[in-house]
Structure 1
Amino acid sequence: MVKITYIEHDGTTHALDLAEGLTVMEGGRDNGVEGIVAECGGACACSTCHVYVAPDWVDRLPPMDPMEEDMLDFAPGSDPARSRLSCQLKITAALDGLVVEVPEEQA
């Protein structure tokens, strides 16, 4: 199991132990994290699973592909330094301890 911490806009924290192979979006959505809407179900066709990655994790994540970059243009409050689509972050042991914050616009 991999520990991922989700922080909702109001400060509610969910420290979840999640199985490898899921996405960060699936882990949040399936465990009731407010603001992980995931309207497209993980197809990288919307930006409703947008999260801010903790600053100390930004350089530890796999690089974004062009499709994710394009979709982040539609995410309200997108931060070029920290924004990611959680549907594009596959949970692996390398993500153990990852912390993400849900933007206010998705609350």
Structure 2
Amino acid sequence: SPAAAAAPAPKAAPAPAAAPAPAAPKVAAGAKVVEAPLPGTITKVLVKPGQALKAGETVCMMEAMKMENSITVEFAGTVKSVLVEVGAQVQSGQALVELA
């Protein structure tokens, strides 16, 4: 039998945006990382491997949308590696600093 011409199915509501999985090149799964909150250019790197950090400390500065933004760490830890350098173009969610 021919398919019934039904009313169009309602569009599914978009799922709430989940936090993106860390895009973590060169970082072990489950590692603690500081990620770029938005795309931009790194203008300053303020930490080095082995440096102890407290929650809220600034790890680097980036320019995005013509504004300079401080990128801070949300938890205490020791810098294991710095994954970016001054002048690097970064994407939202990209790992910038890995903590031990």
Question: Which TM-score bucket, shorter chain as reference?
Answer: under 0.3
Q: Which has the higher contact order (CA 8 A, sep 6+)?
A: 1
Where is the strand percentage greater, Structure 1 or Structure 2?
A: 2
* Pair member with larger Rg: 2
TM-score by length of 2: 0.26
TM-score by length of 1: 0.25
